[in-house]
A and B are shown apart, each in its own frame.
Chain A
């Protein structure tokens, strides 16, 4: 089954404790992206990757890092999480950069930073 898998689904942690949210897709997609969703603000892009070893900042990259060492995986790293990073996070992938290619979203990761 074609899917984007995120882990963990839920996490409560404390300020400053490094964490990684994993994202894996099994569709051989080139394009992957991370979004955060906050009430009243919709979905905002954090980082994106056009292909392996190619990553770039989205609209709200501060406080986050990503890597794309393999095509299928695109982890989101919070080196020193802070309470303002409490949010619902979505990973998404699409076949390539073509605009008519739908983005497939993971089920989301709800992070609470205390």
Chain B
């Protein structure tokens, strides 16, 4: 079966650091992707973790622990434009399909 948990909402201030956690149960887990979606927009790819550890892409980093079925997205030096929904999306080996949950709505305040 598949299940996914992320916080529904997170609020932070400009310049701060925020961590969005994700726990999953995915049959045949293959890797974990993160996507960003602004209101009214399409999801856009942020990062992918296939192995345990940290992946860094500019202000964004993503972490995976396969043994804990856990990952997180770390956003540093928050900017107003980072206000969006963030989805963790585990992928299974069979369909190679992403499972998206309800996402985490991040609100960045001045």
Contact = CB atoms under 8 A, between A and B. Distances in A.
A13 to B, nearest CB: 21
Interface string B86-99: 01000100011111
A105 B44 contact: yes
B96 A97 contact: yes
Contacts of B42: 90, 105-108
B70 interface: no
Contacts of B91: 99
A61 to B, nearest CB: 12
Contact of B50 (A43, A58, A99, A103): A99
Interface string A76-114: 000000000000001010000111101111111000000
Interface of A: 31, 33, 35, 40-45, 48, 50, 56, 58-59, 90, 92, 97-100, 102-108
Given A40-B102, A99-B33, 13 more contacts: A31-B96, A41-B102, A42-B100, A42-B103, A43-B87, A58-B97, A90-B43, A92-B43, A99-B30, A99-B48, A100-B50, A102-B33, A107-B42
29 contacts: A33-B97, A40-B102, A42-B87, A42-B101, A42-B103, A43-B43, A43-B87, A45-B95, A45-B97, A45-B98, A45-B99, A48-B95, A58-B95, A90-B42, A90-B43, A99-B33, A99-B48, A99-B50, A99-B91, A100-B48, A102-B33, A102-B48, A103-B33, A103-B43, A103-B45, A105-B42, A106-B42, A107-B42, A108-B42
